[in-house]
Amino acid sequence: MKKKIDTVESRKKIGFPDKRADWNKEQAIYDEHTLKIDGHPVMEDWETGYMEKLAQIVTLQGGDILELGYGMGISAGFIQANKAVKSHYIVECHPDVVTKAIADFREPISLSKMHILSGFWQDITPKFSNESFDGIFFDTYPLTEEEIHGNHFWFFEEAHRLLRPGGVLTYYSDEATEFSANHKIKLRTSGFHEINFEVCKVNPPADCEYWQDNTIVAPIIIK
């Protein structure tokens, strides 16, 4: 029986950029099934069903949607397909990925149905006013060892500021069956108290370096 990959150690072994800006100097490499940057497995298409579920969650209220991280554009496609969505803003830091997003969604961008904002979320989202969005989907790649399986924690306070009352936050959870105690504390101290989730079945390949379980949590966090 093949030994299960330790996804934390696999990411540590690849290493991380010295500075966030260095990440953008590395080429983003797409193939039919994956996106890799500087040796990091940023995204793989086994996530498609999970991305569909997260897109359904973030668009529960329709309206104005903020998406952090473009990746392979899987979730963006599902969000765009929802006719209840009024506006769809995507924040993406990597220039090659921005170029791919523009190529993939040239028509909705030209019709102002999608807006691509280039930069790290830490620099972009403070420019939005309080209570600007009805749904927020966070799925950026961890760029430090500290962020492995938890980079969404740093966004919770900003998400609470940006969401309208009744708005929905969801994200790539990095947890297989339930929220950890620390996860729930992070949400509550950021102002969230309606904390729910669904458990989604997934089928990552045996050699996937960042997920090894056959389930993953889809958060449903309401302001």
User: How many domains does the structure of the chain reveal?
Assistant: 1
Is residue 4 one of the residues assigned to a domain?
no
What pTM was computed for the model? 0.94
Domain that holds residue 43: 31-222
Q: How far apart are the first and last CA of the chain?
A: 45
pLDDT surpasses 70 at 2 = no
Is residue 209 one of the residues assigned to a domain?
yes
From 157, 37, 177, select the one nearest 93 (Cα to Cα): 37
Is residue 25 one of the residues assigned to a domain?
no
Whole-number pLDDT of residue 216:
97
Is residue 211 one of the residues assigned to a domain?
yes
Is residue 12 one of the residues assigned to a domain?
no
- With vertex at residue 94, the alpha carbon angle to CA 29 and CA 109, rounded to the nearest 5 degrees, is 100
Tell me the pLDDT tens digit for each residue of 68-123. Answer: 999 999 999 999 999 999 999 999 999 999 999 999 999 999 999 999 999 999 99
- With vertex at residue 18, the alpha carbon angle to CA 16 and CA 22, rounded to the nearest 5 degrees, is 90
Is residue 91 one of the residues assigned to a domain?
yes
What is the CATH number for 72?
3.40.50.150
Report the alpha-carbon distance of residue 12 to residue 176 in Å, rounded. Answer: 20
With bands split at pLDDT 50, 70 and 90, how would you rate the model's confidence at 21? confident
In the chain, the amino acid numbered 203 is N
With bands split at pLDDT 50, 70 and 90, how would you rate the model's confidence at 1? very low
Tell me the pLDDT tens digit for each residue of 113-154. Answer: 999 999 999 999 999 999 999 999 999 988 777 776 678 999
In order of 44, 56, 86, 104, the CA distances from 41 in angstroms are 7, 25, 32, 20
Could you give the percent of the chain with pLDDT greater than 70?
Answer: 93
Is residue 26 one of the residues assigned to a domain?
no
Query: What is the CA 220 to chain-centroid distance, rounded?
Result: 14
With bands split at pLDDT 50, 70 and 90, how would you rate the model's confidence at 15? low
Is residue 15 one of the residues assigned to a domain?
no
